[in-house]
Copies of this chain bind each other. A is one copy, B any other.
Amino acid sequence: MSDFNAAGRHILGIDIGGTKLAVVAADRGGNVLHKVRRATEAARGPRVIVDTLCDMAREAMTMAATDPNDIAGIGVSCGGPLDTATGMVYSPPNLPGWDGIPLKAWLEEGLGIATCIENDANASALAEWLYGAGRGYRNVVYMTMSTGIGGGLILDGRLYRGTGDAAGEVGHMTILPGGPRCGCGKNGCLEALCSGPAIARRAREALGHDAASRMLELTGGNMEAVTAETVMEAARQGDASALRLVDETAYYMAIGLGNIVNVLNPEIIIIGTIIVKAGDLLLDPIHRYLRQETWDRVYRMVRIAPAELGNAVGDLAAIAVVEEMLKG
């Protein structure tokens, strides 16, 4: 096994998604020097993908005019579940067939550079903390809010991974007992109420009672084409049904955020994607409900902020994993 090289001036970051792969070479300030992209040919199996990643890494080093001796380490952001200690990946939903893959070992063999792997939510939390909205804070909760709702926790200035790298599953807090079925098999999870698909589903239910809604106009009358973005746009245009959906979404989010605030007393909760796009349209009612859900004392301690890194989060996530590792 190779050792991490704290003096290395560069870091390689590998972002493994279900549809695309990215490898970046970056400096220690989080600036991407070169980026290589390929499609994830998942059907060809993990071994082929890892070989592809090694090729991409060599290309990124060449283009960034660096070499393995100047690389502090390789960070990988990947869907979980995975084991950060052993570097094994176990059946991420977006990578069929990757069950029990020694990802860290294969990359280290292929490139001869110390590698650490992290689940994508934790890696993104590290990125927003080091380079984004969480800079300078000590207790940071990061939440994705898109197709699903996931999260990562920075507590007392360190990534908190939990016992089996499974902490931060904020999307599966139960918000509404007996509520809508979640992909995880439970009912009433935050994700089943406030993810993009969940907001769209609730919108379609509402449209059953309001065929005149602006939401339908926006999709040319196609109910199936209504998305969370349609809801936000119609709400901005004053549509009553959409405004009700936004308010309800804010209420459910505030219950989830309130639980987090009561249990973790963070300084900042950073929320991605939907909150970034919706902005104050969602943040204002979230604050209003959150004030009801928390003591005044802890409410005043916490900021709710949109994520700052946008599409750059994947690259920086992989880089940030190495920076966290180098802290030892």
Binary interface profile of A, 145-187, with partner B (CB < 8 Å = 1, else 0)? 0000001010110101111111111101111110000001010
| Chain A residues with a Cβ closer than 8 Å to the other chain, count | 46
Select which of B156, B267, B297 is within 8 A of A160 by beta carbon. B156
In the complex, the answer to whether B176 meets A262 with C-beta atoms within 8 Å is: no
Q: Do residues A160 and B155 form an inter-chain contact, with CB atoms below 8 A?
A: yes
Are the C-beta atoms of B255 and A166 separated by less than 8 Å? Answer: no
Chain A 281-308 near chain B by CB (<8 Å), digits 1 or 0 = 0000000000011110110011000000
Interface presence of A81 (CB below 8 A): yes
B263 in contact with A168 (CB, 8 Å): yes
Looking at the complex, which one of B173, B174, B264 makes contact with A162 (CB distance below 8 Å)?
Answer: B264
A36 to B: closest C-beta gap in Å? 33
> How many angstroms between the C-alpha atoms of A264 and B262 in the bound complex?
13
Tell yes or no: A273 within 8 A of B by CB: no
Q: Indicate whether A230 reaches chain B with its CB closer than 8 angstroms.
A: no
Contact partner of A174 among B153, B265, B293, B297, CB < 8 A? B293
The CA-CA distance from A294 to B155 in the complex, in Å, is 23
Q: Does A259 contact B (CB under 8 A)?
A: yes
In the complex, what residues of B have CB within 8 A of residue A158's CB? 156
- Whether A138 contacts B163 by the Cβ 8 Å rule is yes
Q: With A174-B293, A293-B174 known to touch, is A301 a contact of B262 (CB < 8 Å)?
A: no
CA distance in complex: A89, B266 (Å): 21
Residue of B nearest to A295 (CB): B184
Docked pose: A82 CA to B302 CA in angstroms: 18
CB-contacts of A172-219 with B (<8 A): 172-177, 184, 186
Chain B: CB-nearest residue to A158: B156
Chain B residue contacts of A186, Cβ below 8 A: 258, 292-293
Which B residues are in CB contact (< 8 Å) with A138? 163
- The reply on A139 being an interface residue by CB < 8 A is yes
CB distance from A111 to the nearest CB of B (A): 30
Q: Establish whether residues B262 and A173, one from each chain, have CB atoms under 8 Å apart when the complex forms.
A: yes
Task: Answer yes or no: A105 CB below 8 A from chain B CBs.
Answer: no
Contact in complex: A263, B167 (CB < 8 Å): yes
* A278 contacts chain B at the CB level, 8 A cutoff: no
Q: Does A260 contact B (CB under 8 A)?
A: yes
Residue pair B167, A265 in contact (C-beta under 8 Å): yes
Contacting pair A162 B177 (CB below 8 A): no
Min CB–CB distance A181 → chain B (angstroms): 12
With A163-B265, A172-B294, A177-B255 given, can you name 9 additional A-B contacts, CB distance below 8 Å? Answer: A162-B265, A163-B302, A164-B301, A166-B298, A167-B264, A172-B262, A173-B259, A174-B258, A259-B259
The 29 sampled A-B contact pairs (Cβ below 8 Å) are: A81-B297, A138-B163, A151-B263, A155-B155, A155-B156, A155-B160, A156-B160, A162-B264, A163-B267, A163-B301, A164-B265, A164-B298, A164-B301, A166-B298, A168-B265, A169-B263, A169-B295, A169-B298, A170-B262, A172-B295, A173-B262, A174-B175, A174-B255, A177-B251, A184-B295, A186-B258, A186-B292, A259-B263, A263-B263
Which 8 pairs across A and B sit closest by C-beta, in order of nearness? Answer: A162-B265, A167-B265, A169-B262, A166-B265, A173-B259, A172-B262, A163-B267, A174-B255
